Amino acid sequence: MIYLDNSATTKPYKEVLDSFLKVSTDYFGNPSSLHSLGGDAEMLLNRSRETIASLLHVHHKEVIFTSGGTESNNLAIKGCALSKRNIGNHIITTSIEHPSVTNAIKDLEQEGFEVTVLPVNKEGRITKKQVEEALREETVFVSVIHVNNETGVIQPVEEIGEVLVSYPNVSFHVDHVQGIGKVPLPLDVIDLCSLSAHKFHGLKGNGILIARNGVNLHPILSGGDQEWTLRSGTENVAGIVAMTKALRMTLENSESHLSNLSSWKQYLIDKLEQMNGVFIHTSRNQSAPHIINFSVPGIKSEVLVHALGTKKIYVSTTSACSSKRKAPSKTLTAMGVTREQAESAIRISMTYSTTKDELRLFLLELNQAITTIKEVTREKK
């Protein structure tokens, strides 16, 4: 098997699975319970929070545990904007956000918020100048994805954050789900930052929202007083401990393996550029090292995905959240890519364990699949 769909989800580290099983077996108490079993679970919860805070260079009280990237994005966007509606009702975002950001902001539009959606250039980037020009007196919230989940393009979030420091009424949210462990991001100029465990070899169903000191959030779940009263629900302690281990291991791996990922990316782009009829939508220099998006016009992306799947090579079309929809990628459309190219887009996403031999075999099978599909198509005509 050659797995090249790591932006959809990653394979959990063995150590992560071991941690989850150990905690689920021996420390299964509710961390809110008063007895010693609950106290042991609470101790693990607190230790995990402190470890994550240390790894991300934030205060432990700024770490909120959630069920994943979607909840983290929703809590950040709705929670912050609703807490500020007495100050202003204007939000700024981009045209290539993840659906969990786009749709959360659409919900706020129904609540009376006004939204400015910034267009991107042909590489999928915005500029800090666009953000500056869009700011109004009523602006209270800006949300910009760090690494786009389809093309890997990197937004200048640090530059934007430095601009927004001068606007104390504006909170800045960054969806860092695809960037963590792949593209370093200092959090000192960011107010809210979303992460998802299964994107860095943790387990599905766990996430983190970093909410910097001073940022007010309106809870979007009603219940108990867990997570600083901001996220009700009994914490998934086993998943949180496993996520903590996954984050530590991922950040350790990134130091030694990022150069390999960057080399593999350049290798793939070089080889794809040599194939007739292939269009590449990922920038060489302003994108993450693990994602490449390309098109083979004339071949529907799902046909190519299934053809490679028969060889146990797993790639994807758009983001996993949108892959079963018939509409072309809104990210590629926003970049000015033609409909034909958008409908034939393929995403490759690697991780630290990806090897050059795997990529060579992928390229060989891709070339063969393209040739075969085109021959079959000609015969049918």
- The reply to whether 80 belongs to the active site is no
- Residue 327 CB neighbours (<10 A): 11
Length of the chain: 381
Contact yes or no for 346/302 (Cβ under 8 A)? no
Please tell me what DSSP assigns to residue 275: S
CA-nearest of 238, 171, 183 to 209 is 171
Alpha-carbon distances, residue 191 vs 58, 71, 168 (angstroms): 11, 17, 11
CA-nearest of 154, 174, 160 to 215 is 174
> Going edge to edge, which strands form the sheet with 291-295?
279-280, 291-295, 345-349
- Residue 317 CB neighbours (<10 A): 24
For residues 224 and 58, what is the distance between their CA atoms, to the nearest angstrom?
A: 25
Q: Is 372 exposed, middle or buried (0-12, 13-18, 19+ CB in 10 A)?
A: exposed
> Token pair for residue 355?
């090897």
Please tell me what DSSP assigns to residue 142: E
Annotated catalytic residue: which of 134, 275, 321, 363?
321
Handedness of CA 221, 224, 226, 227 (dihedral sign): positive
> Going edge to edge, which strands form the sheet with 63-66?
63-66, 207-211, 192-196, 171-175, 139-145, 90-94, 114-118
List the catalytic residues.
321
